[in-house]
Structure 1
C-alpha cells in the first residue's frame, strides 16, 4: 500500500489543479489534508475535501473560485480564518495552517497562525494527519510525519501526540476514535485506548449534539456492536447512555437465568444493520428491550418475565430522544411504534395467524410494517438453530398473509367508511363520548372480520349498536349515501 506520490489520483478531479494554480498565484504552499487523504488511500468515497495553506484560507478560497467557470459562492468565517464552497457534489473547505490550545473546561480552541507541522500535530489521529502537497515542485507528494499510512496498513487508530494531550484538548476525540474504529474495523492502539479509559469523564464537557452525532455514526457503521463494546469498555457508554448499560448482566434464581439483554440487543442491532441502513430502524433495535430491567420479575412457575416491557419502552422513547437531542418528530414516532409492536409478529408466529390479527397489525404498523418485520426477524437470537428455523418459517407465513390481506383490504390507509360525522347524522347526535364508542366498536368489528368495511355492512351494524343504546335512527342508508354524493359533487 505504501506510496509517496498521489499525483495520478489527484488528476481525476479538477479542483486540485485549480487550487494548485490559485496557490501559485498567491505564492502560498497548500496541501489537501485529513479525511480525504485517508479515504483516498483506503479507496473509500469522500465528498469532503479540506485544504490547509500557509497563508490565508479565505483569500485562497476566493482566488480559487475566480478560476472556476461557474464561480461558486464562497462562504467565509473571519473569526476562524476558514472558507467554504460547494462544487458539484463536493464540500470544499480552506483554512490557514494553525496551532490550537484549549482551556480545561472548554472545547473552543485558542487559535493562532502556525506551520504545516503545527497543523498536523493538532489533528486527532495519525490517519487523519496526512497531507498531499499541491506545490508545483512536489505535486502529489505525501507529507506523513506520524506514519499514518503505516497505521492504515496496521489497521490502527493512534493519536499523533501523547493521547492525554490530544484528548485533553478535545474530549470528543475519544468518541471519534471509537467511531473510526467501528467504521473502518480498526483496532485502537493500546496507549490511546488506555488514555480514553482514564479520561472518559472528560466527555461530560462536550455538548450532547456533538456526542449524539458521533454515536449515530457508530450506529450506522457496518457492525455497530463493535463500537458499542468499545464505548462500554472505555467507560464512555455509562456516561452518555446509562439506560443501555442497565441492560447488562444476568440474574439467576432457583437455577433459572435470563439472557444478557445488553449483548442480546447488540446482536439484534447487528442483525438489523445487516438488512437495513435506516438509522431509525437501528435506533428501534437499540431501544426495543430498553425497559426490560424495569419490568423484570421472577416467577417460580415460568422463571424470569418482562411483561409489558414493550409498552413501557415505547413510552421511554420520547425521553431518551429528548435527552439525546434526537428529533422529536415522525422519526421518533416511528421508533416508538416499532418498539411498542416488536413482540406482535413474534406472538403471531407462536400462536398461529388469523386474518383479524393480521388486520390489526397492518393498521397499527402502517407504513412501518416492513421495518417491523426486519426488526422481528433480527430479534430471533436463540442459540438453538431448530428454534430459529421454526420462528423464521412462521414469519414467512405471517409475511405472506400480510401481503395477501393488505392487497385485499388496502389496510395501510385504513379508515372505517362509517365516520363520526355519519354516526351523528344517523342518530341526530352532537360530538360526544357515545359517538366515540360507536365509532370504535365499528372499527373493532371491521378488524375482527365481523363486518366488511363498506357502507351497507357498516350502517346495518351501526343500527344494531344504536338499538342497544336506545338510539333511534333518523336517516336511512339511502339518505346517507345521497348526502355523501352531494358533498362530493360540491367539492
Structure 2
C-alpha cells in the first residue's frame, strides 16, 4: 500500500488540464483517497487547489461536454459540480484558527501543508497530485498510509488541540473506528477523554448525524463501547449510559442491560441495515433502570419496562433531534411490543393471541420478529437454540393465522360511520365502545370480520347498551 492509483476516469484529467490553464496546483485530498487505499467505493471527490477553488470549478465545467452547473458557496469559498454520478467539490487551500468557545474557525488562504494540517485524522490527510510534473504522486505528510496498515485512528497534530478546536472530531474518531474496525491511538483516545466536555458546544444535529453513522456500522457495539469508555455517551445520550452496571442483593444479580442492549444491536445489525430497526434495538430496554425492583421471592424484575420505554421514545427522539414522524412511531411500536412474541413462546399459542399480535404489529410484524430473535442473548447456547426454535413455531402460526384471517393492518368491516348511522349517534364515547367491543369479538374469534355476522353482533351489543336501531345502512 505504498502507492494509490487514481481510477481510470476522464474527470481527473479534466481537472488537471483546467488547473494548468488557471495556473494553480491541484490535488485530490481526503476521504476519496482514503477510500481508494481501503478499496472502498466512493464517487465524492474533494479537490484542493493552491489558489481560487471557485474559479477552478468553473473552468472544469467549461471543459466537460455537458457543461454541468457549478454550485458556489461563497461564504465557505467552495464550489461543487456533478459529472455523471461523480460529485466533485473544489476549495482553495486554507489554514484555520479557532476561538475557545466556538467550533467555527477563522479561515485564511494557506498552503497545501496548511490544508493537510487542518485535517482531522492522518488517514484523511492523504492527497494525490493532479499537477503535470507530479501527476498521480501520493502526498502523505503524516504517515496516513502507515496508520491505515496498522488500522489506527490518529490526529495529524497534537490531539488535544485538534479536539478542543473542533470537538465534533471526537465523535468522528469513534465513528471511523467503528466503521473501519480500527483502533484509536492511545494518546488520541486520552485526548478525547480529556476534552469530552467540549462536545457541549456542538449542535445536537451534528452529534446525532455521527451517532447514526455509528449505529449503521457493521458492528455498532464497538462504537458505543468507545463512546462509553471515553465518557462521551454519558454526555450525549445519558439514558443509554444509565443501562450500564449490575446490582447485587443477597447474592442475586441482574444482567448488565447496557452490554445486553449492545449484543441485541449487533444481532440486529447482522440481519438488517435498517437504521430504525437498529434504534429499536437500542431503545427496547431503555426503561429498565426506571422500572428495576428487587423482591425477596421473585428477585429482580423490570415490570412494565416495555410500556414505559415506549412512552419515553418521543422525548428521546426529540432530545436527540431524531425525526418525530413515522420512524419514531415505528420504534415506539417495536419497543412496546418487543416482549409479546416472547410471551407467546412461553405460553400455549392461541389463535386469539396471534390475532392480537398481528393486529397491533401490522406491517411491522416481520421487523418485530427480527428484534425479538435478536433479543435472545445468553451464554447458554442450548437455551438460545431452544428459544429460537420456539420462535420458528410462533412465526409459522403467524403465517397460518394471517393467511386465514387477513389480520395484518386489519380494520373491522363495521366502521364508526356505520355505527353512527345505525343508531343515529354523533361522535361520542359510545361509538368508541361499540367499535372496541366489535374489534375484541373479531380478535377473539367469536365473530367473523364479515358484514352480516359483524352487524348482527353490533345490534346485539347496542341492545345491551340500551340503543335502538334507527337506520339500516348499506354495506
Q: CA deviation at 1:409?
A: 2.3
Confirm or deny: 8 A CA contact 2:358 2:409 kept in the other structure. no
Q: CA deviation at 1:474?
A: 3.0
Structure 2 residue runs of 5 or longer lacking an equivalent are none
Confirm or deny: 8 A CA contact 1:350 1:391 kept in the other structure. no
Equivalent positions of 1:285-304 (< 5 A) are 285-304=281-300
Equivalent positions of 1:398-477 (< 5 A) are 398-475=394-471
Confirm or deny: 8 A CA contact 1:268 1:378 kept in the other structure. yes
Does residue 189 (structure 1) correspond to residue 185 (structure 2)? The answer is yes
| 2:146 counterpart (150, 174, 179) | 150
**Secondary structure in 2 matching 1:450:** coil
Aligned-partner Cα distance in 1 for 2:420–2:236: 52
**Secondary structure in 1 matching 2:239:** helix
Aligned-partner Cα distance in 1 for 2:167–2:69: 34
Greater mean deviation of Cα atoms: 300-309 or 466-475: 466-475
Corresponding residue of 1:267: 263
| 1:331 counterpart (324, 327, 333) | 327
**Secondary structure in 2 matching 1:177:** helix
Corresponding residue of 2:213: 217
| 1:112 counterpart (100, 108, 111) | 108
Greater mean deviation of Cα atoms: 284-293 or 89-98: 89-98
Aligned-partner Cα distance in 2 for 1:369–1:452: 22
**Secondary structure in 2 matching 1:52:** strand
Aligned-partner Cα distance in 2 for 1:184–1:371: 27
Q: List structure 1 runs of 4+ shifted beyond 3 angstroms.
A: none
Q: CA deviation at 1:104?
A: 0.8
Does residue 167 (structure 1) correspond to residue 163 (structure 2)? The answer is yes
Does residue 94 (structure 1) correspond to residue 90 (structure 2)? The answer is yes
Q: CA deviation at 1:21?
A: 1.1
Aligned-partner Cα distance in 2 for 1:288–1:394: 21
* 1:87-117 CA distance string (max 9 Å, x none): 2222210000000001111111100000000
Q: CA deviation at 1:262?
A: 0.5
Corresponding residue of 2:73: 77
Aligned-partner Cα distance in 2 for 1:90–1:330: 32
Aligned-partner Cα distance in 1 for 2:125–2:100: 23
Confirm or deny: 8 A CA contact 2:154 2:188 kept in the other structure. yes
Aligned-partner Cα distance in 2 for 1:412–1:345: 15
Does residue 310 (structure 1) correspond to residue 269 (structure 2)? The answer is no
Corresponding residue of 1:355: 351
Greater mean deviation of Cα atoms: 350-359 or 29-38: 350-359
* 1:463-491 CA distance string (max 9 Å, x none): 2212211222234xxx43xx34xxxxxxx
**Secondary structure in 2 matching 1:80:** coil
**Secondary structure in 2 matching 1:85:** strand
Corresponding residue of 2:338: 342
Aligned-partner Cα distance in 2 for 1:405–1:204: 51
Greater mean deviation of Cα atoms: 113-122 or 82-91: 82-91
Q: CA deviation at 1:462?
A: 1.1
* 1:240-274 CA distance string (max 9 Å, x none): 01101110111111211100001000000000111
Q: TM-score, normalised by structure 1?
A: 0.95
Greater mean deviation of Cα atoms: 247-256 or 260-269: 247-256
Confirm or deny: 8 A CA contact 1:358 1:401 kept in the other structure. yes
Corresponding residue of 1:2: 2
**Secondary structure in 1 matching 2:331:** helix
State the aligned residue count.
475
Aligned-partner Cα distance in 1 for 2:425–2:203: 54
Q: CA deviation at 1:394?
A: 1.1
* 1:429-471 CA distance string (max 9 Å, x none): 2222111111110001101111100011101111221221122
Confirm or deny: 8 A CA contact 1:32 1:133 kept in the other structure. yes
Q: Tell me how large the CA RMSD over aligned residues is.
A: 1.1
Aligned-partner Cα distance in 1 for 2:407–2:307: 23
Greater mean deviation of Cα atoms: 151-160 or 73-82: 73-82
Equivalent positions of 1:208-287 (< 5 A) are 208-287=204-283
Corresponding residue of 1:487: none
Aligned-partner Cα distance in 1 for 2:79–2:406: 52
Greater mean deviation of Cα atoms: 349-358 or 438-447: 349-358
Aligned-partner Cα distance in 1 for 2:253–2:71: 60
Corresponding residue of 1:322: 318
**Secondary structure in 1 matching 2:271:** coil
Q: TM-score, normalised by structure 2?
A: 0.98
Structure 1 residue runs of 5 or longer lacking an equivalent are 485-491
Q: CA deviation at 1:424?
A: 2.0
Q: CA deviation at 1:423?
A: 1.5
Confirm or deny: 8 A CA contact 2:267 2:374 kept in the other structure. yes
Aligned-partner Cα distance in 1 for 2:158–2:204: 26
